[in-house]
Amino acid sequence: MVDLSINSEKAGSQIIEFLKKTFKEAGFTKAVLGVSGGVDSALVLFLAARALGEKNVLPVMLSYAGLNSKGFKNAELAIRKAGIAQENAKIIDIKEAVEAVVKTDLRMDELRKGNIMVRLRMIHLYDLAKKHRALVLGTENRTEYLLGYFTRFGDEASDVEPIRHLYKTQVKQLAEYLGVPKEIVNQEPTAGMWPGQTDEGEFGFSYSDADKILLLYADQEKTKKEISALGFNNHTVDKVIARLTGNSFKHRLPYIFREKRL
């Protein structure tokens, strides 16, 4: 049995203290973050509100699908439940900006379009951070990080990453403990890059399986054979590890030439 349970009280307290210390040392009091309506951004929102105070957290809803989408409604719910004043929240419609870039290449596929969308969101977040003298909070979890499930210079761009050490399963545990609404915690994860897109649909495996396999392979350094012997499907193990190794280059960028001194 693979144990991914955490002490949520301790984990939450440690992250809150980390945020307090980091912002104090950096000389900042305000945080900007994109709120998608998903559990990762909702959790970071709740943690930031407790660490920095609700008035110092500036959530941004960067809409492409429209104001009536499920993601937008869940983002509003998360902001409200975190106790953040409505005047602190900002709504930015990025659809026109995305379409302007898409028009430059009529053969653009959905993945490229999604990457453009994510990078435009990053631009808005950093512009607002500059305006309000704030740091940008990232919302990446350990599962996404290890699998390389992020857009370079897009959703992985941040100043502070408070939950990158937590697997998706653990994110949900902590979110539930802190009072993130159940409809957000339990919804099917999606990056919102195109209609009907889901994380697990792209992966071809579940977060539940991925978290366990990654814990065994990346953290405990078990071999494929050892992992499969624990009862995991061989094909799933291969897919998870192939994605991890195939995207590992993302963690080494940029590649820098080191001049040899003569």
Q: Which residues are annotated as a binding site for deamido-NAD(+)?
A: 119, 159
Q: Which residues are annotated as a binding site for ATP?
A: 34-41, 139, 168, 190
Q: Which residues are annotated as a binding site?
A: 34-41, 119, 139, 144, 159, 168, 190
Buried b (16+ CB within 10 A) or exposed e, 118-151: bbbbbebbbebbeebebbbbbbbbbbbbbbbbbb
**Distance (Å, rounded) from C-alpha 19 to C-alpha 165?**
14
Residue type, position 78, single letter: A
The Cβ-side half-sphere exposure at 76, using a 13 Å CA radius, reads 9
Q: Given the structure tokens 């995991």, which residue do they identify? A: 232
Q: Which residues are annotated as a binding site for Mg(2+)?
A: 40, 144
**Distance (Å, rounded) from C-alpha 44 to C-alpha 23?**
15
**Distance (Å, rounded) from C-alpha 189 to C-alpha 168?**
10
Beta bridge partners of 104: none
